[in-house]
Structure formats: structure tokens, C-alpha cells
Structure 1
Amino acid sequence: MAIPGPPPHGGALVDLRVEDGRAVAAAAQELPRWELTRRQRCDLELLATGGFSPLRTFLGRADHASVCTAMRLTTGELWPIPVTLDLPECVVAAASSAGGLTLCARGADLAVLWLREAWRPDRVAEAAAVFGTTDPAHPGVHTLLHETHPWYVSGPLAVLALPTHHDFRSLRHTPAELRRELADRGWDTVVAFQTRNPMHRAHQELTIRAARELGAHVLLHPVVGITKPGDVDPSVRVRCYRALLPTYPPGTVLLSVLPLAMRMAGPREALWHAIVRKNHGATHFIVGRDHAGPGPDSQGRPFYEPSEAQDLLRRHEDELGIGVVPFRQMVFVRELQRHVPEDEVPPGHHCLRISGTEQRRRLAQGEELPEWFTPPEVAAELRRAFPGRTGEAVALLS
């Protein structure tokens, strides 16, 4: 059956789920078992359903080296982020002896990996290549160097079941499901918006403007896997997104959540996000300033330049096969009583912005959030979720 929407990355949408899993399930009972970490569960789900097309398993040694050094698989496709299965040595030894490993989540068998490769990577070199730093103030570096097991393994992967989710069930779509939904709605041009925070007014205005200029519909595609430590809980964020939907023009927006484990890898991650959205059926992708940036380093300097992610995607736009829509800084112009891109403000007009510090102060003192910055629907949900502490959450909006 043909897959609707633009061609997936690599030309085909991968699906690793076995149709008749009896033989694989029987084999799983005989193999050593590994309880997947939260990141590994996210990665397995997107491998299984094609969100990570063209990957068919966790990266092997040659692909891992190529991705780190050249942002490409050994077959030539762009791929900027290592997707690896890290294990302790004792588990690798057991899997090597048995020939494979059963991957589990909360005791349920999800997949079997038939072991073909096992090696100890140079994780410091990986951090320097992928994140551009070995500074442990970078959350991705910290995870890689201090929370990742010392061995990587790879081999053919057969998936019995996806991880079970009890939240946002109606908003969870595999790439194939989302592509069918977009096709059923007759949406040929779809601009995807990545977010890990509650949306503020500038984000909302940006998505509406991007859709209008492209003649497109909006796919709000927030990450509900792993984001930056300290981020607002996904359950709160999803309530904020749902509250915003009625404020868009009717029939122009779709909300779908993404079980991605972010690495906060800045420009490389932006490229990765575009590939994942392309696999889910989007034709365009909004790239933010300092996209997937983790904040300041241990010296107080930004890890990545503000436009670095946008520049990287522009250089690869033709090969990516998804339109790149750079995030334009939106400001509220008092005289016009509306938001416009900063570079379109008429001379002599007053631009209004707000900082996280000011938001925290307003909320801590019980003052109203300005409606021109935070949609009242979002402010209401944040106050409901964080009574007396809302400033801690809203600080993440800026």
C-alpha cells in the first residue's frame, strides 16, 4: 500500500513490527532480558514505526563513526544524531553468549535484538563531535558521559510491541497514521512546529503567519519524550496546547505528540527534528533561533550561535526534501496592537518584549501576564498546574 505524503527520508517508511510474532515471542523467552531506559524506549518506538527512517536498528559501529564525523550513514543519507543502544558489560556478555537480547519495558517484551556487534565507544570523542563540546554543563554531554553504559550493541531488530502509554492516547500517531490523517484531511502542505515548552503568543503568531504565507496547515508536534531537565511536565504542556487549538482559524491546525528523546544538540538536533517531521508527513519545518539549544555553558556563554541551526538546515534543504521556515523574532508593536516580525517594525514604533525574570515576578506577585505575550488560555492552565509556583514554569516560555 502506498504511503501518503512526501517521500520519507531514504525513500521508504520503515516498520519493524513483526506481523506474526509467535516465533519471535518464543525466542524472547529464551534470551537474556534488558529493561530499557526511558531514552531507549523512546528510540525503540521511533525506530519501530519509521520515525527514524531509514534506520532499521540501533546504529552499528561503522554507522556510528560516520554519523559522528560526517552526519551521514555509511549508505550516504544525512543522519546527524547517534541512535545507539548502550548496555553494561555483564549484559553484553550474556547477549553475546545467547546470540541476542530481549528488550523490555516494565516487564513486557517489546523486541528482540539479534546481536551482531558490540564495542566500547569513545564517548568523549562522540560528545565533542555531536555536541561540539565536552562541557558537562551541557545536559546531552552529561548524559552521554555520566549516565550512558560503556558498551554499544547493534544487530537485526524485530519488534513485538510498542511501549504502552496511558496519556494522550488520542494524540499519539505513528508516522503512517499521521500521514493518513493528513491525507484524509486533504492537507497537501503541512508546516510542522517543534516545541518542548508551553507556547507563548509569538510562537502562536509565527505558526499562523507561516501557514498563511505558505498556504499550509499547521502540525503542532510537541515532544513528550525526554526534554531538557526542569522543563514543564508534558501533561501540563499538552493541556496548554489543547487550550490554544480553538484560537487558530478553524480547520487549520492538528496537534500530535512525539515520543522523542531530545539530546539538546543544537544545530545537529534541528536537522534531526526536520528529518523526523518529514517522516511524519510534514512538507515544511519551522526552525527556531538557537533551536534545541541547552542554555549557557559553564562560562555563561551560549553553546551555539543563535542562527547556527537555521544556517545548517538551509545548507541541506534541497537534500533534506523538506522546506525550511526560519523562526523570525516576533514582537508586539504597541501602535499597531499586533505582533509583527522584528525586521518589519515601522520606524519610530514601540516594540514590547517580556523576559522570564519579569514573568516570574508578575506571577509570584499575583499580577496578570500580559495577554500580548502569553495567551490567556496558556496562562490559565499554568496557574491551574502551578498554584503559587507558576513563575517557575512560565520562566521556560521565554
Structure 2
Amino acid sequence: MTDLIPPYGGILKDLRLDAESARAAKDAAVDYPSWDLTGRQLCDLELLANGGFSPLEGFMGQADYERVVTDMRLADGTLWPMPVTLDVSETFAGEIASGDRVALRDPEGVILAILTVSDIWRPDRGVEAERVFGTTDPGHPAVTWLREQSHPVYVGGRIEALDLPVHYDFTHLRLTPAELRERFRRNGWRRVVAFQTRNPMHRAHVELTFLAARQAEANLLIHPVVGMTKPGDVDHYSRVRCYEHVLQKYPEQTTALSLLPLAMRMGGPREAVWHAIIRRNYGCTHLIVGRDHAGPGKDSRGEEIYGPYDAQDLVTRHADELGIEMVPFRMMVYVQERAGYAPIDEVDEASETVMNISGTEFRRRMREGLEIPDWFGYPEVVQELRKTYPPRARQGFTLFFTGLSGSGKSTIANAVMVKLMERGGRPVTLLDGDVVRKHLSSELGFSKEHRDLNIRRIGFVAAEITRNGGVAICAPIAPYAATRGAVREMAEGANGGFIEIHVATPLEECERRDRKGLYAKARAGLIKGFTGIDDPYEAPKAPELRIDTTDCTVEEAAQKVLLKLESLGFIDLR
């Protein structure tokens, strides 16, 4: 491991061992305990190893973590706004101790790094959410991740990287900090302004970056995140193809495109400071910081989590320490009379007509196959996105029925399956709860943990069916809201639709219909943890459709589902 001091960005930590040392470390690691890295940890490890997270030399120990959470600084006082931690299970934490060496592996079991354990502790994740993200609201994706996906114990320590994670996509665009700095040096780029993005770029973005580069008298680096972004974002494969089209719109030799394998936290102001430090490490001298930079949008109450300029304010307060200058985002709008774009603060709205398409409106037009005007998006970019996001009538989707045992969900699901197969046009698969239990989850019991795992398995299969343009019909009880939310995320992340149908038949009616006698056994204490009796059912708060089958025939219920699918644009009943 060496400290490189290249001509751009200051000291760069390179935590990779030389080839001979890496081979020896790999041989020795055969006897070490191993931890398989999660997707987020894999991104973090890559940026630790290649210097993108300089000055960090490993996953944070407790002292660094606690001061970062409270003060945005490492224990030695260095500005650093975001925890970079290795979260592990209680079982694994019980098997290691301070001073142990742990092999960190990718999902295929390949050893990427050796961690020497310095600290093992149980964090207060509620405090972490409140201090780092400014909220404990589950509408913030990082808060949800802390609550539902992160492991309960943190392990800190220095790492020795044997290799970087392997990527097979866009390898010519995956430059490390040292490689990008060298490219800038070779091309004579002394001033470089970075554009952070997790979305496709349209004409307004291009005009914005032109203006920012001109203002900073700098070359431009388009530096999109291709690690983990906000759930529901456009996949990075589609985005990078769009960026490659957009790159042709800039004058030759003025602009570069490189990919950043960052796992975003959507941390708003703190994340903006983090992005500035990372781009400094990559050799940039300037960073465009936009309106609500890296913000997740609204919380579960529909309120904005961060103010529109909170990120710019925080970056400004730490400007002297960052070693990189901020270029504030100036919102660009299309002015009809000028037939071009201009900063909104330079437009006379009394005499000029501002034209705009919001992100919501753009997605609606894409879903419905409507025209996207040339002034908004480049035809090549729109065409690329249409390949990935066809109109809803050609998308796959998941129909997710949930309700108490005996509510009628399986019967309705079967009827809807037959109706859709009768219509044709898409392959249809029914993932009934009992059938899945038999063939996919036969080893699972009925604890909360096992029920969650069963539903997640159903969700995974449904998402793959959806991804490939089919219809997945699921009919489990699925009593827990968080698990249903995870399934929705999987389906929508597969570029398809998710329609939650709450079969809201009352408990009394479900008991009356009880052909298997399960409710009676639960009432008698012969069955433990039975949903609706001694285990709760968390009813959906905002399903796409709610059906009470007490006074509704199967045919009528199925027709309600088909009408809902038509209203959402997934089928056409005419």
C-alpha cells in the first residue's frame, strides 16, 4: 500500500498490495474467517481500495464512526461527512475478535481484501439516521436501509486490497482516481469541473454543463454514479448508453466520461460534501452542486426531506477545507421566444414563455408512448430509453394479492390468470403461496423470519418474470408491510409494474369460510403465530386496489382487477 502524490487532488491512498504480496496474502487467507460483501459494501470496498475514499484506509472504527455521525469529522479532525462501515451479522461478529484478519469476498467467493479487525460494536442506527440524514422517516431510502437491510454489528479495521471488484460492462469507462488524474495530466487539463448525475441527461443538463464549464474556465467530466442509487432509478446500463450519445454533443477534446462505482446514500447536504471530497480525489478542481443535490425527494408524509439549497449551503460552509470549488447549479429552462435554454434567473417571465417537462411528466409520456419534444430530449437518448422503458401496454408487471387466509385472494388470482391467458399477449405465471411453499420454500417454517424469506423469494421470482415482459400473479398472505415494500421495489426495479391488491375480507368472514379448520385450531392454541389471531396482519395503507369479497363474486372481483389494469395502461379491454 502506498500514498501517491499526483499533480491533481492531493494525497491519494492506494490500498492495493503489489502482485507478489497479494498472492501471499491470498494464500494465507485460506484459514481466515470470511465475510461475503453486500452490494453496498462491494461499492465501498472498491472506492476504499482505489483511493476514491482517501484519506480512509479501511472501514471505519468506532471512534471515527461516532465523530463522523456527530461532527462530520474523523477522529483526527479531518472533514468527512458520511459513515463508511462494514455491517455484519451477530453470528459472524461472535466468531471474530480485535486483531483477527478477515477475508472479504465478492458474491462469487473471490477474495478481494483482507481486513484487520480493530473494533467490533453495536451502533445506534436510530441516532445514525437522525444525525447523518436528518430524519428517521422511512421515506428516506437510507433510513429504510438502516432499519431493514443493514446488519446489527459494525466491524472496523484497515484493509489490504488484493484486487478491485471485477466489472464486465463499460470497462473502458471505469477509470480509477489515479488513472483519471493521469488522463487529465496527459491532456493538459488543469481545471476540471465534475458533473454528478444518477439520471439520464437531457438538453437542459447539457446546457447547464456548458454554462458551468464556461463559468469555471474548465474542461468537463461527466461522472455518473453506477453503483447503487435511489430505488426506481433508471438502470446504469441504459444511462451509460445515453451518456455516450450525449458525449457527442460536446466539442471534441473538451469533455470526458468516466463511471463512479459509488453506493449513494441520498444524503442531501452531507452527501454533497462527500461528493466533493470524492471528486477531489479523482483529480477534479470543481463540482457542480445542484438544487436538492443527492436528495431523495419527499418523506412518507409528502414533505421535502431537504431544502432546495441546503446542500449548496453546507458545501459553502466547508469550502476552505474541501480543496475543490463548487459551481452552484443554475436551473436551465427552455424559453420559447429564444428557441433555446437560459438560466431561470435571467428570464423575464412577464414577457417570455418558459417551457418545461417535469420528471413525473416525462415518465408519464414514456409509459404511455407519447411524444417527447426535441427541445427537451435528444432523439437518440429518448430512443435509448424507450428500449428499456416501453409503454405500459408492453411492460411486464406483478399482480400482488395480499390478505388473510380465507379472504379469497387465491381464488381471485386464479380467475384473473385465466382471464389474462384468454386475452393472450403476455406469458402469465401464478405464484400461489401454498404452491411456492411446496416447491420453493419447503424447508422454511412459519416464524416471522421464515415468512419474510418466503415472500422475498416469491418477489425475486416475480421480478424476473416481470423483467422479461411477463405477468407474475402472487397470492401469499404477506402480512408485513416492509416485506411487501421490498417486493414492490424488486418488481419496479425490474422495469415493470407492481399492482398491490388488498383482498380486505373481514376476519369474521374468513373464519366463517374456514374449510381447513385452521382458525379454529389457532383459537384453540393448537397453531401458534397464525395471522389474524396471535400474529398481526399489517393492512396495506395505499394499495392500487382494495376488494372485500363478502358481497362480491369471484367474477366481479376479477373484473375489478382487469379494469384497474386497464386504467393503469397495462391492458386494453377494447
What is the TM-score with the length of structure 1 in the denominator? 0.94
Matched to 2:327, the amino acid is V
Matched to 1:350, the amino acid is T
Aligned to 2:224: 222
TM-aligned CA distance change 1:59 to 1:2, over 3 Å: closer
Aligned to 2:13: 14
TM-aligned CA distance change 1:97 to 1:59, over 3 Å: closer
Aligned to 2:28: 27
CA–CA distance in structure 1, aligned partners of residues 6 and 384 of structure 2? 36
Matched, 1:93 2:94: yes
Query: Residue deviations 1:34-58, cap 9 Å, x none?
Result: 1100000000000011100000011
Aligned to 2:274: 272
Aligned to 2:140: 138
Matched to 2:234, the amino acid is V
Aligned to 2:362: 359
- 8 Å Cα contact 1:191-1:284 kept in structure 2: yes
Aligned to 1:385: 388
Aligned to 2:285: 283
Matched to 2:283, the amino acid is G
Aligned to 1:175: 177
CA–CA distance in structure 2, aligned partners of residues 180 and 358 of structure 1? 42
Q: CA offset at residue 3 of structure 1?
A: 4.0
Give runs of aligned pairs for residues 310-329 of structure 1, distance below 5 A: 310-329=312-331
Q: CA offset at residue 78 of structure 1?
A: 0.7
What is the TM-score with the length of structure 2 in the denominator? 0.66
CA–CA distance in structure 2, aligned partners of residues 318 and 156 of structure 1? 28
Matched to 1:202, the amino acid is A
- 8 Å Cα contact 2:267-2:295 kept in structure 1: yes
Query: Residue deviations 1:12-43, cap 9 Å, x none?
Result: 20011111223311221110111100000000
Q: CA offset at residue 298 of structure 1?
A: 1.1
- 8 Å Cα contact 1:116-1:154 kept in structure 2: yes
Q: CA offset at residue 315 of structure 1?
A: 1.1
CA–CA distance in structure 2, aligned partners of residues 33 and 108 of structure 1? 10
Matched to 1:101, the amino acid is V
Partner of 2:305, secondary structure, is coil
CA–CA distance in structure 1, aligned partners of residues 288 and 193 of structure 2? 7
Q: CA offset at residue 95 of structure 1?
A: 2.4
TM-aligned CA distance change 1:367 to 1:83, over 3 Å: same
CA–CA distance in structure 2, aligned partners of residues 90 and 98 of structure 1? 18
Query: Residue deviations 1:96-126, cap 9 Å, x none?
Result: 2881211000110111111121000111101
Q: CA offset at residue 91 of structure 1?
A: 1.2
Give runs of aligned pairs for residues 128-277 of structure 1, distance below 5 A: 128-277=130-279
- 8 Å Cα contact 1:221-1:255 kept in structure 2: yes
Matched to 1:17, the amino acid is R
Aligned to 1:75: 76
Matched to 1:233, the amino acid is D
Q: CA offset at residue 373 of structure 1?
A: 1.4
CA–CA distance in structure 1, aligned partners of residues 312 and 126 of structure 2? 26
Partner of 2:318, secondary structure, is helix
CA–CA distance in structure 2, aligned partners of residues 188 and 74 of structure 1? 33
Aligned to 1:63: 64
TM-aligned CA distance change 1:3 to 1:180, over 3 Å: farther
Aligned to 2:310: 308
Q: CA offset at residue 306 of structure 1?
A: 0.3
Query: Residue deviations 1:345-374, cap 9 Å, x none?
Result: 135111111123432443344332111111
TM-aligned CA distance change 1:98 to 1:215, over 3 Å: closer
Partner of 1:261, secondary structure, is coil
Which one has the largest radius of gyration? Answer: 2
Aligned to 1:396: none
Larger RCO (CA within 8 A; separation ≥ 6): 1
Query: Residue deviations 1:288-347, cap 9 Å, x none?
Result: 111111111111000000000011111111211101001111111111111010000135
The range that moved more, 381-390 or 224-233, is 381-390
- 8 Å Cα contact 1:3-1:176 kept in structure 2: no
Instruction: Calculate percent identity across the aligned residue pairs.
Output: 56
TM-aligned CA distance change 1:15 to 1:345, over 3 Å: same
CA–CA distance in structure 2, aligned partners of residues 235 and 319 of structure 1? 35
Partner of 1:282, secondary structure, is coil
Aligned to 2:126: 124
Partner of 2:232, secondary structure, is coil
CA–CA distance in structure 1, aligned partners of residues 56 and 368 of structure 2? 50
Query: Residue deviations 1:254-283, cap 9 Å, x none?
Result: 000000000011100011011100100000
Q: Which runs of 5+ in 1 are unaligned?
A: 394-398
Runs of 4+ in 1 over 6 A off after TM superposition: 390-393
Aligned to 1:102: 103
Aligned to 2:351: 348
CA–CA distance in structure 2, aligned partners of residues 267 and 67 of structure 1? 14
- 8 Å Cα contact 1:32-1:98 kept in structure 2: no
CA–CA distance in structure 1, aligned partners of residues 359 and 81 of structure 2? 31
Query: Residue deviations 1:139-190, cap 9 Å, x none?
Result: 0001012111111111221111111111110000110001001111111110
CA–CA distance in structure 1, aligned partners of residues 62 and 131 of structure 2? 15
- 8 Å Cα contact 1:5-1:188 kept in structure 2: no
CA–CA distance in structure 2, aligned partners of residues 306 and 30 of structure 1? 51
CA–CA distance in structure 2, aligned partners of residues 46 and 142 of structure 1? 23
Q: CA offset at residue 2 of structure 1?
A: 6.3
